Structure 1
Amino acid sequence: MEFDLLVVGELNADVIVECGDVRPSFGQVEEIVEDATIVLGSSGAITACGAARLGARVAMAGVVGDDWLGAFVLDRMRERGVDTRYCLRRPGRRTGMTVVLGARGDRAMLTFPGEIGRLAAADVPAAALASARHLHVSSYFLQYDLWDGLPTLLKDFPGTTSIDPGWDPSRSFDHGLPALLPQVHYLLPNEQEAERIARAAGGAPACGLVVKRGGEGATLNLPDGTALRVDAPVITPVETTGAGDSFDAGFLATLLRGGTYADALRVASACGALATRRPGGTAAQPDLAEALELANSLTVTDLQETPQ
């Protein structure tokens, strides 16, 4: 196999604005903020870059416009070792952009979709699927052109699979995802997303469930009864964009390297925490040595053996 990981996902840039104590006001009111920068965004690209940083061989399939922002997104991924041969540039179309307003550890996000949701299953070449050991789908609820064809794509893919659903702007947390989950090896939501997906599905998802719980660490529950919890590292974040995507990268890269589930949870938790040291999703992503140094200090608890 040429690639360990193929990420099928949305692509966009992020405009990170650190507001501090300032709140935006309409009425043509201008305010001065602490910092602002344009960086590589999107769950898929951040996961791909994080896994490549850890030593995995990674390819990305996604769509951008033919504007300067599309070139910016593809260039940033290539710089971080991600193969972009399966990414499309659509003539006359605009690349998506998210404005992230940070405020003392909290954030609000405003997204212009552009081409974010315009990747269809037919746009992912058979050669891409045949070249990878694992298929990861990012931001399921934003990728509306992928919904119809994804069940067949997952069914035909011979390796392992995962989905990070992301937040659903429609608030339904359905769009075919609950019915799709029996075909998926790992679902990687945060706690709020997990609760809403379970509600839409009428119960726990029928797949491996890895839930990111912020300062409470993360949990893993598998259909065979395996249940693990990892601590969250003690770290003071600078900016949290993409922390969950770096977590995904650590989890998947570790499993693909032959690690145990406990190993994967430790590295994932370390990667998610370390990625918050600088603004933007990729600037502070750790290499393998950095991730392992922190991961080795984290405790994984077997929840089956823990008294209730």
Structure 2
Amino acid sequence: MNEHTEVFQRHRGAVFGVAYRMLGTASEAEDVVQETWLRWDRADRSTVDDPRAYLTRIAARASLDQLRRARARRETYVGPWLPEPLLTGPDVAEGVVDDAATAESVSVALLVVLETLSPLERAVFVLREAFGMAYGEIAETLGRSATAVRQLGHRAREHVRARQPRFDADDDVRAAVTRRFLDATMTGDIAALLAMLAPDVEFVGDSGGQVRAPKRIVRGYERVARLMVAISPDIPAGTEVEYREVNGGPAAVFVLDGAPYAVAVLEVDPETSLIARANFVGNPDKLTALAASWR
């Protein structure tokens, strides 16, 4: 491996991390990684003082272009859209959660909110809040004035603050609630489900139209409990539920014949320990990256 390839590999995780936070899908993020590599391979690297910053800027521009194209595709997406789940932790998804960013910056809850930002607002938010870039550097990266970038950053922060859950239960509580919720779902115990759901709970099922799931968000604890009981007979025989860290927090992964086929990530109110939102991803196209890192 030559030197410039080694340099790229050293910072590949950061490149992927920028792209994933911008796009919410691993497949599109990998496309950005490939484009960034091609540009790096052709660049005059003798003029590059900080390879990580240089590669981050390339990845941000490529991600912005990709995000603008992706928005049109997502308008025709069947059912609710959720980010593609990724296994995280010390031994997987290197660079997605690293010393440059916290687990919260790849949480499902935050990525859902980021979908409601404009592409430019999302780019500024990710580069500033997750990667700590200065406004001047972001402005240069995006081809905008520093004043415009500050305004975009302010709007994005206010938007996220208004829409993101202000708090979530700690990981131990979320993990325990997740286990109880899945146990009750697997056994069809509606009384147990009703006892752990917040009155205004939401169920969001991302199927992409490829597996059975509601095509709209289901709201209300009685409706969600009945839904879980109704779908429990559809869980394939032989399914095992494994509890792993996904997108920086506890999650349940449904596994059949050694391969994951669905992921559940819950948002839990820390004051009541009740489930405020249940996110389920069953679209097989969104489980490719998770399956590749599964062991």
User: Higher relative CO (CA 8 A, sep ≥ 6), structure 1 or 2?
Assistant: 2
| TM-score (norm: length of structure 1) | 0.29
Judging by fraction of residues, say which structure has more strand. Answer: 1
| TM-score (norm: length of structure 2) | 0.30
For the pair shown, which has the larger CA radius of gyration, 1 or 2?
2
Judging by fraction of residues, say which structure has more helix. Answer: 2
